[in-house]
Chains A and B, each alone.
Chain A
Amino acid sequence: MSYLAVEDLSISFGGIRAVDDVSFAVDEGEVFAIIGPNGAGKTTLFNLVSGIYFPDGGRVRFAGRDITSLPAHRIAPLGLARTFQNIELFEHATVLQNLLIGRHVHRRSTALSHLLFLPAVRREELEHRRRVEDVIDLLELAHYREQTIANLPYGVRKVVEVGRALCLEPKLLLLDEPTSGLNPEESEDMGFWIEDINRDLGVTVVMVAHDMGLVSRVAGRVLALNEGRVIAEGSPVEVQKDPAVVDAYLGAD
């Protein structure tokens, strides 16, 4: 029984089959990469898995549970967190607040007790803060803690988004192009963090990536998509050599 199992997943937008009968399985504890040229359906696939879109056909199972028809806010508490390709942070809040929002699934008190800010709420807030500080330490965000997202450079925002996802204490992390728009140094740091998150925190990682250097370094297995269909699956080296993948990127003859 695999940890995340995607079975015959399909979705169409108008006449376009954005994701067409895609199946794959991710085992607990691995780093799994999804590659493919622009418009291959990678991000759409993520949106289907995380409950933002609902598929026309097929199923998604996570940790033995069918999550196909669950909305995003019901999937997150099961231990599935994600980031977005174009960064979707809370722009007018500070880094600290963004990370604290990531703790939402771990709240125990009700809105009524928040109104009164009972001692139990304060204890819970302190607990959230301690967990958030752990993430801040891991991703070296201490310098930016009190800054508003709108004032941060792009590279830092990318890291904050990963941090917010980590604050959910997920079991499975979906990273949508974690290194897009980063300079080589930042990309390398991101690679190390992905390894740390996978090894030290025991989080299963599924990532969409364009950067083959990163993929070969951190990913155990790779799935290649083109025009919504799976064209290859295997180790990074195998997939890179696969003629269908070469065709998809460079065009046939």
Chain B
Amino acid sequence: MRFLFKTHYNQDIDHLKHGGDRFWYGLLLVLVAAAPAALGTFYLGELNLVMIYAIAGVGLMLLVGYTGQVSLGHAAFLAIGAYTHSLLLGAGLPFLLSIAAAVLVTALVGAGVGWIALRMTGIYLAIATLAFAMLTEQTISRAEWLTGGFRGLAVPQASLFGIPLTQGWQHYYVTLALLVVTLLAALNILRSSTGRALVAIRDSEISAESVGINVAVYKTLAFALSAGITGLAGALFAHRLGYLSPDAFTFLISLQLLLMVVVGGVGSMRGVIFGALFIGFLPQLLAIARDTLPAQIAQAPGLEPGIFGLILVLVILFEPQGIFGRWLKIKSYFQMFPLYRRATHRRQKTYLRTERLR
């Protein structure tokens, strides 16, 4: 077991708490940086998709895991990011500038949605965001003069500092760099008073108000941040798709994003990465499983969404903390061996709360 001897408050503020953290995260960075040399084009592309999912997941996690606001409409933010980026790129804006503009536009839309949905929580918020996603999908398919509707929109070739991005590994490094930046920004928010205000709203709006947190402002901010980050993922997703059409951003995508956050582990940024790996590689596993299953089951329509839904239900029932929670339990089992008790992680009783004030 590791015992930390703390001598400065900075040790609680720093992202990497001790030598072990620095070693393992350094190793991880080296491994993902070296991945293009070891992986084939197909798996590199899949890993790129996983990282795009992870960026969107960071955005959704800020909203769902840290602010406690559910969204079933994040596919819409992904779509807005993708379309804005493609259109601006087509209009001749440089790659990075176009991405920044896509993030900004999506964040503004997100702030608008957040502001409208201020008074809604739980299931009502989920329905409102779902409605927003459908509205966005419809708007994109009808506004043919701008988006090309169902005829689609070709995503222009991107180039960074004059070098055209044509190879898979080039996109991989762009995504990796942006994922690292996004993660750092999100973690920075979380270790400052803004992030604490979000957590406060998640756990008790009434007390957040009474310690001076303007709940309306911070909820809107959370939506804006979450949407902006998802818009960034959307812009990268556009290059992965190559050709945008409204049916690339259906309800199933929103559900996958939410599934990623829940399966990974609500309330943890590491959970996002686990969740993204899960979501990214599940279709591959299903494809492999299809080959071995009898044809009646393997060819059944709706198999994928069905399995996604089933996993969501099972995770919520049996491991509400997701893969990350399971990881923590396994870790403490080995740390405390042979003294680990199951009760260590049992959820404690919650006491009466002033429900009527909400």
Contacts and interface: CB of A to CB of B under 8 A. Distances in A.
> Which of A74, A104, A116 neighbours the largest number of chain B CB atoms within 10 Å of its CB?
A104
B354 A114 contact: no
A104 B199 contact: no
Nearest to A148: B348
B246 interface: no
Contact of A114 (B13, B188, B203): B188
A76 interface: yes
Contacts of B188: 114-117
Given A91-B203, A91-B350, A122-B13, A81 B193 contact: no
A141 B204 CA distance: 22
A104 B185 contact: no
Nearest to B204: A88
A101 B190 CA distance: 12
Nearest to B68: A92
B354 to A, nearest CB: 5
B213 A52 contact: no
Contacts of A84: 206-207, 210, 354
Given A73-B212, A101-B211, A122-B13, A86 B354 contact: yes
B200 interface: yes
B354 A85 contact: yes
Contact of B196 (A71, A87, A101, A116): A101
Contacts of B221: 111
Given A81-B211, A89-B204, A116-B188, A47 B193 contact: no
A52 B203 contact: no
A12 to B, nearest CB: 16
Contacts of A71: 209
Q: Which among A47, A84, A85, A128 has the greatest number of chain B C-beta atoms within 10 A?
A: A84
A87 B212 contact: no
A90 B351 contact: no
A101 B200 contact: yes
Interface string A27-39: 0000000000000
Contacts, number: 132
Given A92-B267, A116-B188, A105 B212 contact: yes
A93 B188 CA distance: 17
Interface string B189-200: 101111111011
A111 B209 CA distance: 18
A150 B347 CA distance: 8
Nearest to B200: A101
Contacts of B192: 109, 114, 117, 121, 125
B318 interface: no
A217 to B, nearest CB: 26
Closest 3 CB pairs of A and B: A76-B212, A114-B192, A90-B203
Interface of B: 9-10, 12-13, 185, 188-189, 191-197, 199-200, 202-204, 206-215, 221, 267, 347-348, 350-354, 357
Interface of A: 47, 50-52, 71-74, 76-77, 81-82, 84-93, 96-97, 100-105, 107, 109, 111, 114-117, 121-122, 125-126, 128-130, 150-151, 154, 157, 164, 168
